[in-house]
Amino acid sequence: MNRRDAHKALIAGAIGLAMGVPSRAQPRPVRVVELGRLAQVGAEAEFTFAGERAFLLRVAPPETPSPRVQRLGDVYLVAYSRTCTHAGCTVPLPDQRGIIECGCHGSRFRSDGTLLQGPASTDLRAIRLELRDGLVWAVGWLDAP
């Protein structure tokens, strides 16, 4: 990024903040869990990412490729913010049926964070993961460039 581009990005960020538009900047990476502790499908970890409560779940290998399911070594994982995409309430963890039901207005999500039923109109925001020396790190938003 040259100096002119950096200046434009700075101005755009300031305008976005002034208008209440959330920043799309990538948050600081955080260490989540040792990969070895996710021994089975269904293993989970809670963490905080970008100031939001977040959740990681080991899932079975997907039958069809999904951009939300990330493979680290031999393990398939999903991770996402627990901030409801309707109005920002923190959603609970998946129940025994694998359903997440927001207590504020009833939006429902699958255990991988995808939307089942509104009023929310989008999935829970997915988090990009990386494996570093046997540790799972949350390193950014999956929908960010």
CB of 77 to ligand FES, least distance (A): 24
Should residue 115 be labelled a site residue for ligand FES when binding is judged by CB under 6 A? no
Identified binder of ligand FES from the candidate list 30, 89, 139, 142, rule CB under 6 A: 89
Element (H or E) spanning 9, and its range? helix 3-18
Q: Which amino acid is at 62?
A: P
Smallest CA-to-CA distance from 114 within 100, 93, 95, 96 is with 100
Identified binder of ligand FES from the candidate list 54, 57, 102, 138, rule CB under 6 A: 102
Should residue 125 be labelled a site residue for ligand FES when binding is judged by CB under 6 A? no
Distances (CA, A) of 6 to 35, 75, 97: 37, 38, 47
Should residue 124 be labelled a site residue for ligand FES when binding is judged by CB under 6 A? no
In sequence order, the 6+-apart residues with CB closer than 8 A to the CB of 87 are: 104, 105
CB of 113 to ligand FES, least distance (A): 13
Should residue 126 be labelled a site residue for ligand FES when binding is judged by CB under 6 A? no
> Which residues sit at the interface with ligand FES, rule CB under 6 A?
84, 86-89, 102, 104-107, 119-120
